Amino acid sequence: MWGSRRRRHGLFSISNCRYLLITSCLIHAIQTLHLCEAQSTDEQALLAFKAGISSDPSRVLAAWTPTNSSMKNNICRWKGVSCGSRRHPGRVTALELMLSNLTGVISHSLSNLSFLHTLNLSSNRLSGSIPSELGILRRLQVISLGENSLTGEIPASLSNCARLTHLELQLNGLHGEIPANLSNCKELRVFNISVNTLSGGIPPSFGSLLKLEFFGLHRSNLTGGIPQSLGNLSSLLAFDASENFNLGGNIPDVLGRLTKLDFLRLASAGLSGKIPVSLFNLSSIRVLDLGNNDLSAVLPADIGFTLPRIQSLSLYNCGLKGRIPMSIGNMTRLHLIQLHINNLQGIAPPEIGRLKDLEVLNLQSNQLEDKWDRDWPLIQSLGNCSRLFALSLSYNRFQGMLPPSLVNLTIWIQQILINGNKISGSIPTEIGKLSNLRVLAIADNALTGTIPDTIGGLHNMTGLDVSGNNLSGEIPSLLVANLTQLAFLDLSQNELEGRIPESFENMRNIAILDLSYNKFSGMIPKQLVSLSSLTLFLNLSHNTFSGPIPSQVGRLSSLGVLDLSNNRLSGEVPQALSQCQAMEYLFLQGNQLVGRIPQSLSSMKGLQYLDMSENNLSGSIPDYLSTLQYLHYLNLSYNQFDGPVPTSGVFNDSRNFFVAGNKVCGGVSELQLPKCSGGNRLHKSRTVLIVSIAIGSILALILATCTFVMYARKRLNQKLVQRNETPPVPKLMDQQLKLSYAELSRCTDGFSTANLIGVGSFGSVYRGTVGNEEQEVAVKVLNLLQHGAERSFLAECKVLKSIRHRNLVKVITACSTIDHSGRDFKALVYEFMPNRDLDRWLHPSTGEGGERSSRTLTMAERVSIALDVAEALDYLHNHGQVPIIHCDLKPSNVLLDHDMVARVGDFGLSRFVQGANSNSFQPIANTTGIKGTIGYIPPEYGMGGGVSVEGDVYSYGTLLLEMFTAKRPTDPLFQGGQSIRSYVAAAYPERVTAVADLSLLQHEERNLDEESLEESLVSVFRVALRCTEESPRARMLTRDAIRELAGVRDAYG
């Protein structure tokens, strides 16, 4: 029996084992089936993502191909894909394809990756919107989509991702408001939406994100102030809301509660009120930047003890008063101090010299002083700062001798700016020890003595400005022979003498050279005028140069401004000048030139300003001068010309040319010249001739007296500017009309509202008349209480002195002085544009009288204006040694003259773009950031100073869309993800007339068949859409835009 039982038990055991084995196999098979199905779903999602990629030049996704059943977990080996290992093997948990150079869109199929916790597609070229379906991925922890070209709104559905810790969407083109319900993501540690075109404010509900550590809102177009609730973010380490220019409001005192705060940047945010004292008690802070706001504060005396970890202190242009506390010397970790453009007074504390890690010190444009006769304690103490490379003390009240301890600064110093003080004495010869110095600017002081030879040992020098002093002697030969990297050299307004060294030929990088208002003599070296690098400005005026103008002057083929006036040059005007095809301003007046004006000058098609007055030129006035279509100022007075005066071109308006003191006849009736006749000479004619000569002599005497008075007034104004510590106006052209505050006030009727023709970001524009001929001008008066106005003034002066083009606004002069109350006064005087700006023609105000209310721009006028603006941009971007980026192109900055020719203006935000190896002069510590106008700003701006010509092209494309639709890019129509570009793109090319300006269609239907009009609109919109591509690399070149629009003009005409 026992044996029988044993056999039955054995059978039972074998049966159980078989059952268990079969069950196990079934379970495994089911699991495998589910896994395969899940993997298939993940694979399909990834392949759908790949399908949305239109360009993969690095072949990152090349191995992403459909798997077969024999290759288990193949997708987990795809590049950028990570899978789970334990509980969910084979399921995609991370997709990381950053810096892969991918172009395309983000597929909504990624929402099928249900186990995904990391999505990193940053630093690619992805466009389109962020899929709202990502909100169903409940395991998602990291979303990093920064540095792409994404558009649309931030999906509110992301608030469902309860485990989200990182949301990084910076450097895209997103719009709309920040979804308030993102505050539901309580695990959020990093939130970065910097550099987007959002709207609305910072949601107060974000104050509940108690784990938030990084809060990045830089340049996102936010408004509405900083919510008080942010004072609850107890874990916050970094907060950046800078360059939200209209954020507004005060700085909440509760930010001082954030005891872990390490980085606080609120610069250029339109903030006002007082700086909370609590911010100066944030002992953890390393970076504090509140610059360029309408704030006020006195630096606490104990700031050096309350901010022990501070490394970067930027409180520029934010209303600081009082003194710089001596305790600043205790901030031993500081490497950057920016306190410029404030009202700081008193002695600059030498305790700054304790900061051994200091790299940049910018104290310019304050009222700081140092009065020691032998040395400046500050400069002496800075010898301890072994890492200092940039120092600016310009426009303060430093006086006395240039301290000898200047040469004890670290040999690593690269920039020293001490313009506009009251420094006397000589330039120390030991300056040559600063072997790494690149920029030395000590202009507008009272320096005497000679320029030391030792400067010639500074081989890395790219910019030298010692203008506006009393330096004497000759130009050191070593300076010219050795400083081969110089791009900018200004020795003007001194007492320098002698001959110009022939070794100037070694300066192969010089672009701007100003030697005017000195006592140089001898002949102009042919080596100097052979420098092809001179592309912007060569000024040798007001010296005693003699002999002929070298024929080698023709090698200056790219030079824009040549000024040889008021010397003793003789001989004929060289034929070779005709080779200077880029020249727009030529000044030869006040010399002893003879002969005829060469016929070859007729090839200088771009000439705008020509002055040959007060020479001994003879012959007839060449007819070809009337054919130079861009010539708008011509002065041939006081020569020996005879014969008829032409009546067309520049000679058509007596306000634009001057021929007094010659033997000419005819011309326009306003000249009241004798008729050109061949009749007998009567006694009466002789009497008229004698009387004319007498009157001419009297007029010449009056002119000479006026010239002397204007020169004396100029020097007096310069002294007034120096005494009131206002920065001097950058020199534009010495021949420009000089106007005082009193004259500007008089010509605008005391800046009356009756003459007010416009109000801008930094000031007001008035209409006025100046001179005996009552020339109409536009006077732009800067509101210096508006932060950024002075910077805008200096930037505009800098740009305007470097550019000359028929489609750029023409500056007549600039004024920097004091008003009747003793306050600083700055103004720019422009040629008046009778047809005002393009914005008024596209969007006339209700009830606006005059021509604009009675007619609109025709198709031909719009195309012509578009071409003019494109020509201006092409010049700025491509026809100088250094490209100039306008940064604020929009209809209100396009002005229209009497003939409806467009002139681009307002260069207050413009930037010179430096290449990595650029030798161009650049101010230190430029933290202003690039501004612009919402709707015209390209989405990619903000990447570390990355302004570009492509950015201007984007603004131009937007302007084109506005010109031909008459809709602003900020029109209420463009909401919910739509933009002016998408509005036109949706109708292009079949329905372009549906989006075109209705008034344009109504006007043109009388003059052009519908088919021709539609073809023209298609061509224009094609240019506009290509200019506004999301990717900067895909945008049209300006020269291509000019070619296509010229084709439209020619076909239309």
780 is in an annotated binding site: yes
Q: Tell me the backbone φ, ψ of residue 143, rounded to 5 degrees.
A: -120, 110
The rounded distance, in Å, linking the Cα atoms of 835 and 868 is: 15
What angle in degrees, to the nearest 10, is found between the helix axes of 859-878 and 1010-1027?
20
What angle in degrees, to the nearest 10, is found between the helix axes of 1038-1052 and 949-965?
30
| Ordered alpha helix ranges (H), 497-594 | none
Work out the end-to-end distance of the chain between its first and last CA atoms, rounded to an integer number of angstroms: 119
DSSP reduced 3-state for 437: coil
Angle at alpha carbon of residue 710, lines to 709 and 712, rounded to 5°: 65
Q: What is the DSSP letter of 153?
A: B
Query: 570-582: b or e for each residue (b if 16 or more CB lie within 10 Å)?
Result: eeebbebbbbbeb
Q: Tell me the backbone φ, ψ of residue 777, rounded to 5 degrees.
A: -135, 165
Take residue 621 and report the two structure tokens written for it: 């006035």
Take residue 812 and report the two structure tokens written for it: 């007549």
Q: What is the DSSP letter of 885?
A: E
Dihedral of the CA atoms 193, 196, 197, 198 (nearest 10)?
-10
DSSP bridge partners of 134: none
Q: Which of 791, 717, 718, 725 is nearest to 420 (CA)?
A: 725
599 CB-near residues (< 8 Å, 6+ apart)? 622, 624
Q: Which of 221, 212, 220 is nearest to 239 (CA)?
A: 212
Kindly tell me the burial class for residue 21, based on how many C-beta atoms sit within 10 Å of its own C-beta (0-12, 13-18, 19 or more). Answer: exposed
Q: Which of 583, 539, 566, 875 is nearest to 730 (CA)?
A: 539
Per the annotation, the verdict on 899 as an active-site residue is no
CA 109 to chain centre: 41
DSSP bridge partners of 601: none
Which residue is catalytic, options 888, 906, 952, 997?
A: 888
Report yes or no: 1049 and 864 within 8 Å, Cβ to Cβ. yes
DSSP reduced 3-state for 621: coil
The rounded distance, in Å, linking the Cα atoms of 200 and 930 is: 21
DSSP reduced 3-state for 638: coil
Q: 906 in the Ramachandran plot: left (φ > 0), alpha (ψ -120 to 50) or beta?
A: left
Q: Which of 126, 173, 127 is nearest to 154 (CA)?
A: 173
For tokens 């485990």, the residue is: 163
Q: Which of 584, 582, 579, 588 is nearest to 611 (CA)?
A: 588
The rounded distance, in Å, linking the Cα atoms of 220 and 1016 is: 37
Strand ranges, E, within 667-810: 756-759, 763-770, 775-782
Q: Tell me the backbone φ, ψ of residue 597, rounded to 5 degrees.
A: -75, 125
Q: Which helix (H) or strand (E) holds 417?
A: strand 415-417
Whole-angstrom Cα Rg for the chain: 35
Query: 955-984: b or e for each residue (b if 16 or more CB lie within 10 Å)?
Result: bbbbbbbbbbbbbbbebeebeeeebbbebb
942 CB-near residues (< 8 Å, 6+ apart)? 171, 194, 195, 218, 219, 243, 929, 930
What angle in degrees, to the nearest 10, is found between the helix axes of 949-965 and 859-878?
170
- Number of helical (H) and strand (E) elements in the chain, helices listed first: 16, 53
- The set of catalytic residues is 888
Residues that constitute the known binding site for ATP = 780
